[in-house]
């Protein structure tokens, strides 16, 4: 018999938002740009397309970036930050 169902909305069981933000911050820094929490906050809970961090990064230094390479680099940083992540308090 099923006793409970848990819907894991992003960040409910694991804190995924902090590493997501940190991975973008690092990629921005690697390109000589800055991503602030205020800037990042424009995409949290917003409609798709409200804020595109990759487009924003491209505007910061004023030169084209290899978006495919940047996405791969950002994802690698994120995965590294998530290694060994523990469940939020009370989940276990």
* Calpha distance 45→40 (Å, rounded): 11
Give how far the C-alpha of residue 13 lies from the chain's centroid of Cα atoms, to the nearest Å: 16
Catalytic residue of the set 8, 15, 66, 86: 8
Catalytic residue of the set 10, 15, 66, 86: 10
Q: Judge whether 86 counts as a catalytic residue.
A: no
Cα–Cα distances in angstroms (integers) from residue 87 to residues 60, 64, 78, in the given order: 35, 38, 16
Assess contact for 74 and 23: CB atoms under 8 A: yes
Active site residues: 8, 10
């Amino acid at each position: 018999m099923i006793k409970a169902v848990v819907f894991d909305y992003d960040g409910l069981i694991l804190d995924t938002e902090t590493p997501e933000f940190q991975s973008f911050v690092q990629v921005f820094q690697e390109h000589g740009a800055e991503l602030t929490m205020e800037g990042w906050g424009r995409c949290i809970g917003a409609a798709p397309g409200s804020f595109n961090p990759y487009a924003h990064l491209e505007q910061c230094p004023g030169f084209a970036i290899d978006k495919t390479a940047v996405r791969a680099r950002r994802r690698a940083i994120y995965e590294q930050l998530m290694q060994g992540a523990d469940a939020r308090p009370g989940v276990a």
